[in-house]
Structure 1
Amino acid sequence: MGHMSEDRTKERVASTTWWPKWEQELSEYINNCERFQKENGKHGKKYGLFQHIEEPKHPWETINMDWVTGVVPGGKEN
């Protein structure tokens, strides 16, 4: 079974209860929920045109990896 969206969760909570700063606290709770992140979270940048990457401020702050698949093994000369 899927996880409700943040908006739907807020609608459901708003219909039954209230407390000061409930929307802010509920947003924080939802966005820190591991299940929500896996099922509804964003999955990286969209494919397509060049995506700008911020320059790291410290060594090893950002690591990128290219995956090469489907390579056919070469002959003896390789």
Structure 2
Amino acid sequence: MQQLLSTLHDSPHGGHSGKQATFQRLHSYFYWPCMRAMVHSYVQNCDVCQRTKSEHVAPPGLLQPLPIPNQAWDIITMDFVEGLPPSNKFNCILVVIDKFTKYGHFIPLAHPYTVVDVARLYGDNVYKLHGQPRCNTRV
């Protein structure tokens, strides 16, 4: 049985076709119990098929440009820097960057923090100085 699988899958005639094509080709000539499971296992363990397997996903779409802000603090980005050594009980930094001027606010945080903590720090350090950013960006 292994010789049949090898002949109908690995040979130039078989061309390392997939599970279904190999099964159909084998089934047109032979039959034995559990043949589908054996073909599935053989193709699954085929070294050549595993190294040259193609992806069956749709290609990604075109890149979309990011919006260009018209004024300072129109569009901002936020991120966290974590894994820092402790300093005055703080071990994280909330980074808020303006996309127009590249000006940034670096606000110290301590783990564990919650959404309420981050919102309070944002309001106390960024919102009170610059106001509400424009929120109609499509990224």
- TM-score of the aligned structures, taking structure 1 as reference length: 0.47
Structure whose residues are more often strand by fraction: 2
- TM-score of the aligned structures, taking structure 2 as reference length: 0.28
Of structures 1 and 2, the one with the larger relative CO (CA 8 A, separation 6+) is 1
